[in-house]
């Protein structure tokens, strides 16, 4: 009998402890709320572009794939479940998927941040995209040398080979002259382009002209020059793409600007590499 009373007392005590413990639990609304200081979803330096842990370096190492960011920041990067919009920093149209986020517009910098012309991703981008009064009047769009992607994850834009394909469809690079149509190519290993009109395959024939004393041959030709993409200023020197004067052209004592005043002047080459022969007095001859 005594043993039964002891078991009964212990049972009552146990139930009492359980009841008391449960009554102390708080409702969900009373639980502490997690703050940004409590939870760390990214490593220190994630937002610092100079940090080894920056999100830019993470995305680069992940093959430029930002789709994982959508899990927390939303499919349109405007906040999602995180409540943190990528547009706070990346405020160009398209947010982080805007071209300027990864590419310099126009380059440099390169994708890896390089700004030196000797870097593969920098090279001669600037002068090709913007032209320059000191060297050339001609400028082209990105699609002059590259596929224009329909979306950021177009295989022609981001793929496994890790470099941009160069297709060189620009009209000037492919300009037919003297019956010859160039077939431009680019060697990703040597960083050289070849067989382009703008770098030396030009041919200006004498046939059919009523009178042209500048010819010492039946055709004036370029050097069929093969420039080094990241070769720098030396690649722009006179005499590289064509001789000074070009082969087949008579040599004169006057400066080139005497006949080609808007092509090569003290203020810059205002009509240089425009696919035409510009002469003094507004005379223009097309390559044939």
The continuous run of DSSP H or E covering 219 comes out as: strand 219-221
pLDDT at 36 over 70: no
Which residue did the predictor score with more confidence, 105 or 190?
190
Q: What is the pLDDT of residue 35?
A: 44
pLDDT at 30 over 60: no
In contact, 122 and 116? CB cutoff 8 Å: yes
The secondary structure of the chain in percent helix, strand, coil, rounded to multiples of 5, reads 25, 10, 65
pTM: 0.76
Residue 76, class by beta-carbon neighbours within 10 Å (0-12 exposed, 13-18 middle, 19+ buried)? middle
Rounded distance, CA 124 to CA 35, Å? 48
Local confidence band at 16 (pLDDT 50, 70, 90 cut-offs): very low
Local confidence band at 13 (pLDDT 50, 70, 90 cut-offs): very low
> What is the tens place of the pLDDT at every residue in 106-159?
778 888 889 999 999 999 998 888 876 556 778 888 999 998 888 899 988 888
> What is the tens place of the pLDDT at every residue in 157-181?
888 887 888 999 999 999 999 999 9
Asked if the bond preceding 213 is cis, omega within 30° of 0, the reply is no
Q: What is the pLDDT of residue 17?
A: 38
For 80, 113, 152, 225, the CA distances from 89, given in Å and listed in that order, are 16, 18, 19, 44
Q: What is the pLDDT of residue 266?
A: 62
> What is the tens place of the pLDDT at every residue in 265-283?
766 677 888 889 988 888 8
Q: Lowest-confidence range among 39-43, 144-148, 228-232, 254-258?
A: 39-43
Mean pLDDT of 27-49: 60
In contact, 229 and 223? CB cutoff 8 Å: no
Rounded distance, CA 234 to CA 211, Å? 36
Residues of 230-251 as b/e, b for ≥16 C-beta within 10 angstroms? bbeeebbeeebbbbeebebbee
Q: What is the pLDDT of residue 136?
A: 74
Mean pLDDT of 82-86: 93
Q: What is the pLDDT of residue 286?
A: 86
């Amino acid at each position: 009998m005594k043993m039964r009373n002891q078991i009964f007392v212990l049972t009552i005590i146990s139930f009492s402890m359980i009841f008391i413990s449960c009554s102390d639990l708080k409702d969900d609304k009373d639980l502490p709320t997690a703050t940004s200081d409590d939870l760390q979803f990214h490593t220190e330096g994630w937002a610092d572009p100079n940090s080894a842990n920056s999100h830019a370096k993470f995305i680069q190492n992940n093959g430029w794939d930002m789709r994982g960011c959508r899990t927390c920041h939303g499919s349109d990067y405007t906040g999602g479940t995180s409540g943190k919009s990528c547009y706070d920093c990346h405020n160009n149209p398209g947010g982080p998927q805007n071209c300027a986020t990864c590419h310099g517009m126009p380059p440099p910098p390169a994708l890896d941040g390089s700004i030196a012309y000797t870097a593969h991703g920098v090279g001669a981008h600037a002068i090709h995209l913007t032209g320059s009064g000191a060297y050339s009047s001609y400028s082209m769009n990105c699609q002059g040398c590259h596929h224009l992607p329909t979306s950021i994850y177009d295989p022609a834009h981001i793929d496994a080979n890790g470099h941009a394909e160069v297709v060189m469809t620009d009209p000037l690079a492919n300009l037919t002259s003297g019956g010859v149509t160039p077939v431009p190519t680019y060697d990703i290993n040597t960083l050289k382009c070849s067989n382009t009109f703008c770098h030396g395959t030009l041919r200006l024939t004498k046939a059919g002209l009523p009178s042209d004393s500048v010819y010492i041959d039946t055709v004036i030709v370029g050097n069929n020059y093969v420039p080094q993409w990241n070769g720098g200023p030396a690649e722009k020197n006179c005499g590289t793409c064509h001789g000074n004067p070009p082969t087949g052209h008579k040599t004169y004592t006057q400066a080139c600007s005497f006949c080609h005043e808007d092509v090569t002047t003290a203020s810059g080459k205002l009509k240089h590499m425009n696919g035409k022969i510009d002469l003094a007095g507004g005379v223009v001859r097309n390559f044939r």
